[in-house]
Amino acid sequence: MAEALAREGRGTDALPIAEEALALVDQTSEQLFEAELHRLRGELLLTAAGPAEEAEASFHKAVAVARKQEAKSLELRAVMSLVRGARKKKQRADARAQLAETLGWFKEGFETHDLRDARTLLDEE
């Protein structure tokens, strides 16, 4: 629901829903999409002009959770968000290096949307 609202340009309406979903993760220990929820929360914070540091923290949390779960596709999405959300040049360079490392894990599926986006993001600048 939060993603649908965000696509409609209603990020401020979507943010509480994403945060509620993260609270449910804590309550139920159902962690299947925890990394994606943290990534989405970060994206929504950026869209709603929320604190950049808080958005970045959400992206870092998403990466950490995805790595713990060995969910490479979710890790890739979180690192791409980290690159896009990086405000300072050093942070962006560090995030891009992390993206290159994560992208290196993939041995197939290079025509998927996320892998094409990752390659494009690395080729920028």
pLDDT, averaged in runs of 10, over the chain (125 residues): 87 88 88 91 85 89 95 93 82 86 87 89 79
- Residue range of the domain that includes 116: 2-123
pLDDT score, position 125:
57
CATH number of the domain to which 31 belongs = 1.25.40.10
When divided into structural domains, the chain yields a total of 1
Burial 77-86 (b: 16+ CB within 10 A, else e): bbbbbbbbbb
Q: Look up the pTM and report it.
A: 0.82
pLDDT of 11 reads 81
